[in-house]
Amino acid sequence: MKAIVQDAYGSADRLELREVERPVPRDDEVLVEIRAAGLGPEVWHLMTGRPLVARAVLGLRRPRNPVRGWDGAGRVEAVGAKVTDFEPGDEVFGSCEGSFAEFARAKAAKLALKPAGLTFEQAAALPVSAATALQALSGPARPKPGQKVLVIGASGGVGCYAVQLATMYGAEVTGVCGPGGADFVRAQGAAHVIDYTTEDITSSGPHRYDVVIDNAGQRPLPVLRRVLAPRGTLVIVGGEGGTALFGGLSRGLRAVLLSPFAAQNLRNLVAVIRRKDLLTLKDLAENGALVPPVDRAYRLAETAEAVRHLEKGHPRGKLVITVP
């Protein structure tokens, strides 16, 4: 089969379209014929091996799995001996191992039937980013109607879903984005937009927001706490910036360690893809409450170009790789 392969950590120049062996599903896995795959920052981290501490899981010297890709949508080609929830021909979406390929293995527990009415491209834009937003806005971070929510990185993959979900819950949402992204963020449901190049999030005064979802990963913890209500909830998503060793993970760790001693609830989110959340996303998408915004679709052979677009700019919504 054709796949995007990376033999060593590095830039998008390391990505190659090659012929590799088709994977064989284990007993609890499904082999999916991939029709589309989502591209987000998590793929960039896998590609570069950053932060370095993540290589303990990804592979110390080189990627354990050389085929890139995480999100996927397609048709079931074969199922493992213990899989009873799916059968060949089913249209599915979820988290796959190496989805930038014609076929990929996936744990059955990390798949769900594709939402009716969505294209494969739209379905592939959902799993990691939308599930992350769903988990970020859960528990104490689930806003009540009328509460104020700040979403930093509101035009990105996770951020656009966080804006949609918070708006659906009845919150008054302010989205933070770069130049040119305001109309897109408003279209996701934001009542207010801050362009971070011209206005600081603290410029309108302290203690404004009941919930702050930070997807951008650059602002210091004291700045985020300054705009958070005295008993509000901060959720740090991802680990951008920081040192080569720990990246932005150190900021999330500091938040977790400080939280027991603060009136504010400070959380660091490491999202886990679960069928339960995929089924929730499926229902929301089928009801029209959640709309996957696809910024641009690239062919499999154009994956390196797609990654460079992700690195350079600020995609509005999700980038998608189409297969074949």
Tell whether the torsion through CA atoms of 305, 307, 309 and 312 is positive or negative: negative
**Series of mean pLDDT values for 10-residue runs along the chain (324 residues):** 92 94 97 96 75 62 84 97 97 96 98 98 97 97 98 95 98 95 97 94 86 88 95 87 57 87 94 96 97 97 94 87 94
Sheet holding 265-269, edge to edge: 192-195, 172-177, 148-152, 209-214, 228-237, 265-269
pLDDT tens profile 85-130: 999 999 999 999 899 999 999 999 999 999 999 999 999 999 999 9
pLDDT at 102: 98
From the CB of residue 179, how many other CB atoms can be counted at a distance below 10 Å? 10
Residue 25, number of CB atoms within 10 A of its CB:
22
Q: Following CA atoms 71, 76, 81, 85 in sequence, which dihedral angle do they give, to the nearest 10 degrees?
A: 80
Looking at residue 116, its amino acid is A
Q: How far is it, in rounded angstroms, from Cα 196 to Cα 218? A: 12
30-62 burial by CB neighbour count: b if 16+ within 10 A, else e?
A: bbbbbbbbbbbbbbbbbbbbbbbbbbeebeeee
CA 54 to mean position of chain CA atoms: 17
Query: Among positive and negative, which fits the CA dihedral 243, 244, 249, 250?
Result: negative
Question: Nearest CA to 217 among 140, 158, 276?
Answer: 158
Q: What angle is formed at CA 314 by the lines to CA 64 and CA 321, rounded to 5 degrees?
A: 50
What pLDDT, on the 0 to 100 scale, is given for residue 56? 64
pTM for this predicted structure: 0.94
**Strand (E) or helix (H) holding 107:** strand 103-107
pLDDT for 316 equals 92
Please name the amino acid found at residue 201.
I
Residue reference for tokens 């509000």: 232
